[in-house]
Amino acid sequence: MSLSVIENNIEGLAVPIVNSLNTYAEYKTQVIASPTANAILAFLEQSPKNVGILFIDKDFDSMYIPPFVLPDDVSFDGGIAVVNVLSPINIGGTDIPLGVSLMHELGHAKQFIEAPVDFENKYKEAMGQVKSNYPSELTRKKKGEKISQLIIENENVALHEAPICDDLGLPFRKRYD
């Protein structure tokens, strides 16, 4: 099993909520009827990489932290899926169950594990750490938001988030933006 709920404080990250283990169990039951969600969980559980799951209620929004930006002493080589339990995805005015937020962030972990070099290139390009291969007018979607980050997000929405919402009879978005 290579999915671990983080219960201890990691320096630099928000403090985990006290009932993190119960929260994980609850969120998994919210998506258990989705074959797509089950496939993502099975992929990650069978992966040799260790993925951390961090439930928080302040300081940061939900996000996926890939291993190449984690401090050296943090041992999650599959990265950390961070879920802010007070910040659900809202689609067309409907708050989507937080189990879907968990699966969105775990979807990023799957993206990273499947194609780590490609993921790191897109991520670092988005963060402005490497020169973009895209023409400058295409590079920015909005101020501060670059197209390569959107590629990661749109792939994740198309392959993971939207099918899960559809499986569960929830409204879904086709693109991240």
Residues 49-108 close enough to bind Zn ion by CB under 5 A: none
Closest CB 118 distance from Zn ion, rounded Å? 16
φ, ψ dihedrals at 111, nearest 5°: -55, -45
Q: How far is the CB of 73 from Zn ion (least distance, A)?
A: 25
Per 3-state DSSP, the chain is made up of helix, strand and coil in percentages (nearest 5) of 45, 15, 40
Question: Least CB distance from residue 51 to Zn ion, whole Å?
Answer: 15
Count of residues of this chain found to bind Zn ion when the rule CB under 5 A is applied: 1
Closer residue to Zn ion (CB): 77 or 153: 153
Tell me which residues in 104-163 interact with Zn ion (CB under 5 A).
153
Between the CA of residue 121 and those of 34, 91, 126, 135, what are the distances in Å? Answer: 31, 29, 8, 16
Which residue, 58 or 175, has its beta carbon nearer to Zn ion? 175
* 3-state secondary structure (DSSP) of residue 62: coil
**Cβ proximity to Zn ion, 11 vs 160, nearer residue:** 160
Minimum CB–partner distance for residue 48 and Zn ion (Å): 23
Residue 69 and residue 127: Cα distance in Å, rounded?
Answer: 11
Distance (Å, whole) CA 61 – CA 90:
13
Residue sitting closest to Zn ion (CB)? 153
Kindly list the residues in this chain that would bind Zn ion in the complex (CB under 5 A): 153
